[in-house]
Amino acid sequence: MDARALPRPATGGTPKPFEPRLGRSVSIDHAMKVLRVSRRTVYNWIREGRLATVRTLGGSQRVVTDSLRPHVVRRTVLGADL
């Protein structure tokens, strides 16, 4: 593997391994998997205003990552299916 392809820390030193990160929005399918709920539940939560979405130039709807966090934290802390 080419060392130039690895991200380098801001302070210098050895490169860190690649760590995938979520962007600012995720697909409906990805939101389903992260939240461990059905597609219908994701769409219901969007309609109720519990999840924020954006539209892509192609017209697809994507869930804003920041709107997922409270639901993920709630599931983790309570350990319950909501």
pTM value > 0.75 = no
Q: For residue 52, is it within any domain?
A: yes
Structure tokens at 73: 């934290």
Each residue's pLDDT tens digit, 27-69: 999 999 999 999 999 999 999 999 999 998 898 999 999 999 8
Residue 10 lies in a domain: no
* Secondary structure tally for the chain: helices H, strands E: 3, 3
Tell me whether residue 73 is in a domain.
yes
- Beta-sheet strands, E only, within the chain: 25-27, 53-55, 61-64
CATH code, domain with 73: 1.10.1660.10
Residue 20: per-residue pLDDT: 43
Note down the domain range covering 45: 23-78
Q: Are 62 and 27 in contact, with CB atoms under 8 Å apart?
A: yes
> In this structure, is residue 2 part of a structural domain?
no
Count of domains observed in the chain: 1
6 part of a folded domain: no
